[in-house]
Chains A and B, each alone.
Chain A
Amino acid sequence: MHVSFLQAVLIALVYYLGNGPWLAGVGYYTLYRPLVAGFLVGLILGNPVQGTMVGAAINLMYLGFISAGGSLPADPCLAGTVGAAIAIASNLDPKVAVALAAPIGLLGTLIWFIRMTVNATFAHVADRYAEEGNTRGIMLANVVYPQILLFIISVIPVFLASYYGAASVQTVLNFLGGKVLHILIVIGGMLPALGIAINMRAITKRETIMYYFMGFFLVMYLKLDVVSIAIFGAIIAYAVVISSRKERTT
């Protein structure tokens, strides 16, 4: 399938909106996530169902995604938009899409680095406006200048990758053959472990590791789904909190 000029522009806009401020600040929680980005890219390319499946698969890698203190371990939004575009255009298995999206996500940290570095210049522009007591200037320095920059550095690469990249990936994969596809599927199956482990680094402590095992084996043996684990987890967490509060008061 060929990605048209207009479609590539729209995919690039999804990426910009996921990174930009215009969606009431929740762009980072919605379009930035491959699940949502994949669905929208699918919608743009005329196959929202496949887009959703691919986006969901790619998002597994970034389940535990945390960006803190200005660091970005990877760029889920780039992996989601470009990854879904490639997967739909080349009709790839979602697991293959995961393995292809992983390096794309790493490349995205470059865009982040440019943005975080150049934006520091606008902080100094804001200093000058503050000196004059110019409140409109603060708005310009916080919104207009950095967003022009972000628009340029996000729309151009995503447009190029979706417009030219999508079709060539299929040619390369066909050329490489089945063994490579198998390896990509193996890698794609393992990568979600990384996203989960990154999240565990942030929230799981020595005292709570047993709840991790509980969640794991409840799914393995009783075939419960994630939502029911969340409900039981919340009940147990509540019980623990209540009993520790009683201990403290007695």
Chain B
Amino acid sequence: MREEMRSDESKKKKLSRGDVVKSFLIWLFFSHSCYNYERLQGVGFAHAMVPILTKLYDTKEDISAGLKRHLTFFNTEPNVGAVVHGLTIAMEEEKANGAPISDEAINATKTGLMGPFAGIGDTITQGTITPILLAFGISLGQTGNVLGPILYAILISVVIIGIAYGMWMTGYSQGRKGVESLVSGNLISTMVTFAGILGSAVMGALTAQFVSVSTPVVITVGVTSLKLQTDILDKILPGILPLSLTLLVWWLLSRKHSAMAVMGYIVLAGIILGLIGFL
């Protein structure tokens, strides 16, 4: 009896921490190495699963099936979305130990979670953290301080790798229930609200500090001459031109004008208004 249990134990496939970390490192480095229009991060995902599959399965057939399972279309924000990979590894581990998990179940979990985590992740990493740290680096860098780019590069690297590793391990240890409650629960919506408020405030600050539009127009009425910028516009509302321009661009983008088209409008406006001497 005891002997039997022991042999059962030894048959049980268990991933070591090293396997999970190895898989994480492959993803961290090569998630977008073969980024393409057809599968997006699909090939990167399959590559990251290599140490997991080779550890869990013994036959070429099983490994081949596993690789094919993960070569499908996949796309998420690679750092916050790393929770999906952690969870997938946990599911693969259960499957290899005989749990009734079908290929479809793994695929459905992946595709079901990649969307929400892409949205949340892009808001947090690309949408909020990166611009805030960049703004910090740029304000130093604009005056020629080389610490601007150096500090920015160090800070952003630590934060991004930290988020990715934390999410990866969370997904692996929490399992399906834990990750699904992460999506349905308040935590994610709380994070998005938080990032939305913080990010919006920072965007306002960036508009004030970095968008520069001013007019050299001088209005002469009789003997008095008024400078349009300093004597009129600044008195009404300081920064009214950069603020209006940014809100106008925002409105145009929300009206489905492409970023490239809006860039064209700006260039055109710059040429015309610059030539007639309004700007």
Contact = CB atoms under 8 A, between A and B. Distances in A.
A45 to B, nearest CB: 14
Contacts of B228: none
B118 A26 contact: no
Interface in A213-238: 213-221, 224-227, 229-230, 232-234, 236-238
Contact of A126 (B71, B201, B249): B71
Contact of B34 (A146, A198, A232, A245): A146
Interface stretch (A6-14, A116-124, A164-172): A116-124
B196 A66 contact: no
Contacts of B245: 190, 193
Contact of A138 (B50, B61, B190, B204): B50
A148 to B, nearest CB: 11
Interface string A93-112: 01100010010001000000
13 contacts: A22-B29, A25-B28, A29-B130, A33-B152, A66-B122, A122-B34, A126-B46, A196-B206, A201-B253, A215-B204, A219-B208, A226-B132, A226-B206
Contacts of B28: 24-25
B213 interface: yes
A131 B136 CA distance: 49
A211 B196 CA distance: 9
Nearest to A19: B32
B270 A190 contact: yes
Interface in B4-50: 27-40, 42-44, 46-47, 50
A190 B211 CA distance: 6
A39 B150 contact: yes
Interface residues of A, number: 115
A192 B29 contact: no
Given A190-B213, A197-B246, A237 B194 contact: yes
Contacts of A197: 246, 249-250, 252-253, 262
A190 B242 CA distance: 8
A132 to B, nearest CB: 7
A248 B273 CA distance: 52
A173 interface: no
A122 B29 contact: no
Interface stretch (B92-100, B102-110, B138-146, B167-175): B138-146
B204 A183 contact: no
Nearest to A127: B71
Given A130-B71, A135-B67, A196-B246, A233 B30 contact: no
B188 interface: no
B135 A226 contact: yes
Contact of A26 (B35, B36, B139, B161): B161
Contacts, number: 385
Given A59-B141, A216-B243, 16 more contacts: A30-B156, A33-B152, A56-B148, A67-B126, A68-B122, A74-B259, A130-B68, A133-B60, A141-B34, A179-B275, A187-B274, A193-B245, A196-B207, A197-B262, A233-B200, A237-B197
B156 A139 contact: no
Contacts of A241: 190, 193-194
B53 A204 contact: no
B128 interface: yes
A63 interface: yes
A220 B236 CA distance: 13
B33 A63 contact: no
Which of B61, B77, B212 has its CB near the most chain A CB atoms (within 10 A)? B212
A153 interface: no
Interface string A68-103: 111001100000000000000000001100010010
A145 B36 CA distance: 13
Contacts of A133: 60-61, 63-64, 67
Contact of B239 (A59, A66, A69, A216): A216
Contact of A123 (B34, B164, B194): B34
Contacts of B157: 24, 26, 29-30
Given A26-B161, A225-B139, A226-B209, A186 B270 contact: yes
B238 A220 contact: yes
A204 to B, nearest CB: 5
